[in-house]
């Protein structure tokens, strides 16, 4: 049972009217973040979510480097979504050089990022999110009672990792993807083997959905708009424009509609669209593109009982679970249809230019932009991660959530719900987590 | 792969107290622990896991037998954290390239300040940037598991060795040894700037197997011939800026002699040409 369903009388209710909560170290997220929350007379007077990750300045590190080095360097932004950064960087560089990759290269890049999404979602759902709902401090602590669930998680993680490793050489920081093609191509037998593994593990993905459908979550609505790529040809991965329900933007013009700003307290930038907050990720993708899901994913969506569009951020986890099924189906399709041809890496002619790489990655839409001079040297770089785009929305949602539960829950449960909310966005503070150490300071 | 030598005849009967901590980094090395999908659940039962904030809510601060640290020191908070961990640990293990060499974030030490000055979005009140540096520049490190990322099986081998009362010894040959064993075409021969000859192996030449030249993520090999490496790269047509940038991308702080060697070999070439 989830903790949501209990109805305990909270002895400390009266104390909740005035609270100062500092979550110095949010656990079970990628990277380091903190939250400062003050409540006076039942109203939130301060709510600041900040990345406290040491700065690494990747956009500065690639300056002066060659065009074929950007993806190796920016891969290190994030371990769990390193393939995403690699493909975003390569796409941006190729865009700057006016080069269009072959269909085979594009399909393999898609397969790589799909594999990464399967392992990223599985890791997040089981190891970072689920323990909150089942009332455990960690997935490892669940082992005695939930061994089969953990084995299922690891089987899914392994299936995703196998795709990444077979296509790119290893589980993280892929080596074989490069500007102009693929340094070492997988064989037809490799794809055949992946297909078999994916078919075997699909049932585990379906069971994951069924498990997450049973979890109860608070009923709140975010005020932020959702955004994702929207592609006429498929459930968007690399193609299409950046869209909400109301409007679409051309990716190359992203700077006209996305603005980054700094909060002096945070090492991650905040991002707004036309001065309004928005969110990206699985829920945004489902809101926009659910009609293009695989038929089994669609069935599961129906089974979930969730009506789209949804603006409940807690639904993001459920959409991630269903998305694993869709990703497995899409990966199987690629493995089945792709006939590997021996394509050496293209030598791309150099020219000065600007390029934008934009793709859907586990946590939302990822942006890379580079400017090259005529010798292929990088003179400008800009990277906007999904977590940076979600940060403001996450923070503002806390302001929506806390008043709604302030009088009915214990302080421990309020903190738990806040942590759940943050984790439902699957934030990556390396890209921008690790743990919420909670200090209550009563005023 | 890590080899091991026996130091204790009888393996300890009490489970070792182990902690995994991350400071500034990409979380990839901690994930590499978890990504031992077939072994992790059994392994966890053999140790007393006291802390692993990446996947645990409850992290006990006490004396640990082994602390694995992922990431590099890049903020004041990181510095305080590694000092605290050192005080609490019998053995500190640097897990991955950031902890071992400073990896790519420490490459900032060799870039122009104007390249990142405009990115100083973190004039954060209670967070101060410190020079990005590997863990062993601040505290004593007992063991190293290098690589970006480390080979996940290597982490497993390390822990298993410890459990058997053995202390793992690092792989000392350059990447080329395993690369040759794997039957790869030499990427230097085809004109790629491969740093395999001067880089510590133990990675099973994973990058070259996948078609990518070695970037030196495991740090300099013992007895490397830096002078010869520079000479070969120059012969292949790479200029000194490129050579320096490449060598410093993953392990610049472990090559403090690089400027000197570049200068010295240049003079030699000059003298020969005269």
Q: Which of B123, B149, B169 is the last residue of a domain?
A: B169
B181 with B161, same domain: the answer is: no
User: Given this model, what pLDDT does residue A9 score?
Assistant: 29
User: Given this model, what pLDDT does residue A7 score?
Assistant: 26
- Percentage of chain B surpassing pLDDT 90? 76
Q: Which domains does chain A have, with CATH numbers?
A: 21-54+390-442 (no CATH), 58-389 (1.10.645.10)
For the segment A107-153, what is each residue's pLDDT rounded down to a tens digit? 999 999 999 999 999 999 999 999 999 999 999 999 999 999 999 99
User: Given this model, what pLDDT does residue A1 score?
Assistant: 28
For the segment A371-387, what is each residue's pLDDT rounded down to a tens digit? 999 999 999 999 988 98
What is the count of structural domains for chain B? 2
B117 with B186, same domain: the answer is: no
- Which of A80, A183, A266 shows the shortest C-beta gap to B212? A183
B248 with B121, same domain: the answer is: no
B163 with B214, same domain: the answer is: no
B18 with B143, same domain: the answer is: yes
B120 with B219, same domain: the answer is: no
A contact test, residue of B58, B207, B210 with most A CBs within 10 A: B210
- Contact state of A175 with B207 under an 8 Å Cβ cutoff: yes
A120 reaches B (C-beta below 8 A): no
Look at residue B40 and tell me if it is in a domain.
Answer: yes
Give the three-state DSSP class for A399.
helix
A436 reaches B (C-beta below 8 A): yes
B163 with B198, same domain: the answer is: no
User: Given this model, what pLDDT does residue B122 score?
Assistant: 43
Whole-angstrom distance, CA of residue A236 vs CA of residue A186: 24
Look at residue B262 and tell me if it is in a domain.
Answer: no
Asked whether residue A270 carries a pLDDT value surpassing 80, the answer given is no
Residues 70-99, chain A, touching B (beta carbon < 8 A): 72-73, 76-80, 82
Give the three-state DSSP class for A57.
coil
Q: In the structure, what pLDDT confidence band is assigned to residue A28 with cuts at 50, 70 and 90?
A: low
User: Given this model, what pLDDT does residue A8 score?
Assistant: 28
B154 with B236, same domain: the answer is: no
Look at residue B184 and tell me if it is in a domain.
Answer: yes
B46 reaches A (C-beta below 8 A): no
Q: In the structure, what pLDDT confidence band is assigned to residue B261 with cuts at 50, 70 and 90?
A: very high
User: Given this model, what pLDDT does residue A267 score?
Assistant: 60
B contact test, residue of A124, A170, A183 with most B CBs within 10 A: A170
B192 with B157, same domain: the answer is: no
A364 reaches B (C-beta below 8 A): no
B contact test, residue of A28, A56, A137 with most B CBs within 10 A: A56
User: Given this model, what pLDDT does residue A12 score?
Assistant: 39
B53 with B79, same domain: the answer is: yes
User: Given this model, what pLDDT does residue A427 score?
Assistant: 86
For residue B151, what is the nearest residue in chain A, using CA coordinates? A170
- Percentage of chain B surpassing pLDDT 70? 88
B152 reaches A (C-beta below 8 A): yes
Domain limits for position B194: 175-256
- Contact state of A53 with B24 under an 8 Å Cβ cutoff: yes
> For chain B, what is the HEC assignment?
CCEEEECCCCCCCCCCEEEEEECECCCHHHHHHHCCCCCHHHHHHHCEEEECCCCECCCCCCCEEEEEEECEEEEHHHHHHHHHHHHHEEEEEEECHHHHHCCHHHHHHHCCHHHHHCCCCCCCCCCCEEEEECHHHCCCCCEEECCCCCCHHHHHHHHHHHHCCEEEECCCCEHHHHHHHCCCCCCCCCCCCCCHHHEECCCCCHHHHCCCCCCCCCCECCCCCHHHHHHHHHHCCCCHHHHHHHHHHHHHHHCCCHHHHHHHHHHHHHHHHC
Residues 143-182, chain A, touching B (beta carbon < 8 A): 143, 147, 150-151, 154-155, 157-158, 161, 168-176, 178, 182
Chain B residues within 8 A of A378 when measuring between CB atoms: none
- Which of A61, A178, A430 shows the shortest C-beta gap to B108? A61
Asked whether residue A434 carries a pLDDT value surpassing 60, the answer given is no
Q: What is the overall mean pLDDT for chain B?
A: 89
Asked whether residue A315 carries a pLDDT value surpassing 70, the answer given is yes
User: Given this model, what pLDDT does residue B206 score?
Assistant: 98
For the segment A195-206, what is each residue's pLDDT rounded down to a tens digit? 999 999 999 999
A334's tokens: 């690629």
For residues A345 and B127, which has the higher predicted lDDT (pLDDT)? A345
User: Given this model, what pLDDT does residue B121 score?
Assistant: 47
Asked whether residue A34 carries a pLDDT value surpassing 80, the answer given is yes
Look at residue B273 and tell me if it is in a domain.
Answer: no
For the segment A208-249, what is each residue's pLDDT rounded down to a tens digit? 999 999 999 889 999 989 999 999 999 999 999 999 988 899
A130 reaches B (C-beta below 8 A): no
User: Given this model, what pLDDT does residue B202 score?
Assistant: 95
- Contact state of A54 with B24 under an 8 Å Cβ cutoff: yes
Asked whether residue B12 carries a pLDDT value surpassing 60, the answer given is no
User: Given this model, what pLDDT does residue B7 score?
Assistant: 47
For the segment A69-109, what is each residue's pLDDT rounded down to a tens digit? 999 999 999 999 999 999 999 999 999 999 999 999 999 99
Q: Residue A355: phi, psi to the nearest 5?
A: -140, 150
Q: What is the pTM of this model?
A: 0.92
B152 with B180, same domain: the answer is: no
Look at residue B272 and tell me if it is in a domain.
Answer: no
Look at residue B189 and tell me if it is in a domain.
Answer: yes
Look at residue B238 and tell me if it is in a domain.
Answer: yes
Q: In the structure, what pLDDT confidence band is assigned to residue A411 with cuts at 50, 70 and 90?
A: confident
A52 reaches B (C-beta below 8 A): yes
- Contact state of A31 with B37 under an 8 Å Cβ cutoff: no
- Contact state of B53 with A435 under an 8 Å Cβ cutoff: yes
Asked whether residue B186 carries a pLDDT value surpassing 80, the answer given is yes
For the segment B104-157, what is each residue's pLDDT rounded down to a tens digit? 999 999 988 777 766 654 444 444 578 999 999 999 999 999 999 999 999 999
Asked whether residue A64 carries a pLDDT value surpassing 50, the answer given is yes
Residues 9-38, chain A, touching B (beta carbon < 8 A): 25, 27-28, 30-32
- Can you tell me the mean pLDDT for A264-269? 62
Q: In the structure, what pLDDT confidence band is assigned to residue B28 with cuts at 50, 70 and 90?
A: very high
CATH code at B37?
A: 3.40.50.700
B113 with B152, same domain: the answer is: yes
Asked whether residue B30 carries a pLDDT value surpassing 90, the answer given is yes
Q: Which of B169, B197, B213 is the last residue of a domain?
A: B169
B133 reaches A (C-beta below 8 A): no
Residues 191-250, chain B, touching A (beta carbon < 8 A): 206-207, 209-212, 215, 242, 245, 249
Q: Which of B117, B149, B169 is the last residue of a domain?
A: B169
Look at residue B261 and tell me if it is in a domain.
Answer: no
């Amino acid at each position: 049972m989830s903790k949501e369903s209990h109805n305990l009388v909270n002895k400390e209710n009266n104390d909740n009217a005035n609270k100062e909560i500092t979550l110095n170290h949010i656990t079970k997220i990628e990277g380091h973040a903190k939250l400062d929350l003050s409540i006076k007379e039942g109203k939130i007077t301060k709510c600041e979510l900040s990345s406290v990750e040491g700065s690494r300045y990747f956009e500065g590190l690639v300056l002066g480097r060659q065009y074929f080095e950007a993806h190796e360097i920016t891969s290190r932004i994030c371990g769990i979504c390193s393939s995403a950064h690699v493909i975003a960087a390569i796409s941006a560089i190729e865009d700057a050089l006016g080069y269009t990759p072959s269909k085979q290269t594009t399909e393999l890049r898609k397969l790589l990022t799909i594999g990464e999404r399967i392992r990223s979602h599985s890791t997040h759902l089981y190891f970072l999110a689920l323990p909150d709902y089942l009332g455990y401090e960690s997935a490892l602590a669940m082992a005695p009672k939930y061994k089969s669930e953990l084995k299922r998680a690891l089987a899914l993680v392994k299936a995703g990792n196998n795709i990444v490793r077979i296509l790119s050489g290893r589980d993280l920081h892929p080596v074989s993807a490069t500007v102009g093609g693929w340094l070492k191509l997988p064989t037809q037998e490799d794809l055949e083997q992946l297909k078999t593994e994916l078919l075997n593990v699909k049932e585990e993905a379906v069971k994951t959905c069924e498990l997450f459908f049973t979890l109860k979550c608070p009923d709140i609505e975010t005020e932020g708009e959702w955004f994702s790529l929207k592609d006429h040809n498929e459930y968007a991965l690399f193609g299409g424009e950046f869209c909400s329900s109301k409007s679409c933007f051309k990716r190359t013009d992203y700077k006209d509609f996305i603005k980054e700003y700094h909060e002096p307290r945070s090492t991650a930038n905040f991002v707004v669209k036309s001065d309004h907050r928005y969110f990206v990720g699985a829920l945004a993708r489902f809101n926009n593109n659910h009609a293009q899901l695989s038929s089994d994913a669609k069935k599961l969506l129906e089974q979930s009982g969730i009506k789209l569009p949804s603006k409940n951020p807690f639904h993001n986890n459920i959409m991630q679970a269903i998305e694993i099924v869709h990703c497995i189906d899409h990966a199987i399709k690629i493995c089945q249809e792709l006939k590997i041809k021996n394509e050496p890496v293209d030598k791309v002619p150099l020219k000065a230019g600007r390029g934008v790489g934009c793709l859907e990655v586990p946590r939302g839409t990822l942006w890379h932009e580079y400017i090259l001079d005529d010798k292929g040297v990088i003179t400008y770089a800009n990277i906007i991660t999904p977590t940076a785009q979600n940060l403001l929305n996450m923070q503002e949602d806390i302001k929506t959530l806390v008043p709604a539960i302030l009088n009915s829950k214990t302080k421990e449960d309020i903190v738990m719900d806040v942590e759940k909310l943050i984790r439902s966005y699957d934030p990556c503070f390396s890209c921008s987590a690790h743990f919420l150490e909670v200090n209550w300071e009563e005023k | 792969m890590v080899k091991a030598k026996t130091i204790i005849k009888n393996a300890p009967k009490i489970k070792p107290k182990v902690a995994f901590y991350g400071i500034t980094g990409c979380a990839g090395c901690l994930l590499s622990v978890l990504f031992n999908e077939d072994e992790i659940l059994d392994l966890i039962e053999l140790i007393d896991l006291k802390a692993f904030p990446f996947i645990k809510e409850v992290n006990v601060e006490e004396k640990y037998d082994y602390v694995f640290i992922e990431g590099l020191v890049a903020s004041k908070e990181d510095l305080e954290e590694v000092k605290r961990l050192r005080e609490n640990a019998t053995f500190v293990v640097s897990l991955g390239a950031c902890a071992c060499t400073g990896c790519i974030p420490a490459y900032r030490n060799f870039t122009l300040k104007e390249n990142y000055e405009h990115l100083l979005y973190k004039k954060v009140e209670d967070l101060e940037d410190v020079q990005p540096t590997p863990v062993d520049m601040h505290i004593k490190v007992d063991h190293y598991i290098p690589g970006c990322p480390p080979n996940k099986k290597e982490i497993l081998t390390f822990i298993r060795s410890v459990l058997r009362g053995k202390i793992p010894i690092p792989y000392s040959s350059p990447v080329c040894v395993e690369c040759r064993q794997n039957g790869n075409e030499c990427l230097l021969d085809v004109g790629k700037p491969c740093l395999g000859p001067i880089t510590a192996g133990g990675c099973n030449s994973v990058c070259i197997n996948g078609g990518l030249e070695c970037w030196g993520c495991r740090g300099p090999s013992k007895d490397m011939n830096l002078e010869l490496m520079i000479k070969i790269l120059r012969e292949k047509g790479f200029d000194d800026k490129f050579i320096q940038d490449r060598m410093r991308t993953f392990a610049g702080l472990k090559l403090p002699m690089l400027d000197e060697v570049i200068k010295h070999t240049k003079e030699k070439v000059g003298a020969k040409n005269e």
